[in-house]
Every structure is written in C-alpha cells, then in structure tokens.
Amino acid sequence: MDLHLPRRRALFVDRDGTLNPDLRYLREANRLELYRGVGSALSLARQHDYLVVCVTNQSGIDRGFYTREDVEQIHTRLNALLHPSGAQVDAFYYCPHAPDAGCRCRKPATGLFEDAARDHQIDLGASAILGDRSFDIEAGQKLGLLTGLVVPPGHEEALREETRKRGTQPDLVASTLLGAVLRVLARG
C-alpha cells in the first residue's frame, strides 16, 4: 500500500436484499432486478466522493448452487442496470464459503472490508455500510463504520428481532437505499 496516496471514503453495500430482491441463491444474471431508486442512491453517493463497494456473502458457490462465473455475470449485469442512472459499483467483494467454513471473509467477519480498504486506500473511519441484515451491521461496527439498516416495509419486526438477538443496533434505519444514503450524507 502506498502511504502517500490519499485515503478515500467508501459506501459499502450489501447486494441481495439491499440493492436487489433476495431471490435465494440467484444463479441466472438475467433474473437480477434492482430495487427502485438504487441507481439514484449510488449515483448520489458517488457524486459526494464515496467509492461504492459491494460486499456480499455468496455461500451458494460453496454449496454448489452456482459458480464464481455466475456471480461475476450477475455483477456485470448489476452495473449494466445501474449505468442509465450514471451509477456503478466500483468494486465487488464476495465470500464464496458456507456459514460453517470458519473463513475470515464471511460477514460478520471483516476480511472482505479489510481487503477492499487495502486495495483501494479506504479510510474505514470515514466510511459507511448499508445492508439488510444484522451481520452487515455487526461487521461495520467491528470496523468503526457508520452503519445503516435498509428495512423494506413489512420486514420491520423480523429485522428488529434479528438485531435484538444479535445485539446489534444500527446508527440509522431507512426503508429504502436512497433514504439510507441521504442519511449517510447528512452525517457527513
């Protein structure tokens, strides 16, 4: 890592359930659809000098439901869907392991975030994570990130219970990614 390069802030985002509906082990890139407003949200973050980094658990690889190539095709399609909004995900990091693998990369572990910080000279203390699960929040808290939970209408009670059980309380909660990004920018 070049110590002379300026450190950047990043907006870390989860994928399934945050950027797009969680279709459980999505394999076919052509089935990927984004939630409404995701392009505007990520475009706004990039306009405010946030690097957009997607960090996602993809245990379907380890379980044999799909391949790394399938995941790469999904990420290519995701950026293609964002393009008309002037948005993009600048980097994708994913954990291919099953939950019981004990790896350093599966959220709530912080390995993928640490890799991204090293690869892109990210200042974690000036960065944020937005996700739809308590393990997104837990990973962010371990690293000192601003944490935001994106809770679609109708899922509030289940996520409230999940965060209570895991002992994680996000810094902010919003019903859409755009609402969460606006709250991050307001703090920023």
Q: Which residues are catalytic?
A: 14, 16
Opening angle at CA 119, ends 50 and 172, nearest 5: 35
- Residue carrying the six token digits 């209408």: 153
In angstroms, how far is CA 137 from the centroid of its own chain? 10
With 0-12 CB in 10 A as exposed, 13-18 as middle and 19+ as buried, what is 130? buried
Residue 152: phi and psi, rounded to 5, are -65, 150
Q: Calculate Rg over the CA atoms of the chain.
A: 15
Whether the ω angle into residue 108 lies within 30 degrees of 0, i.e. cis, is yes
Of 187, 140, 127, 126, the C-alpha closest to 168 is 140
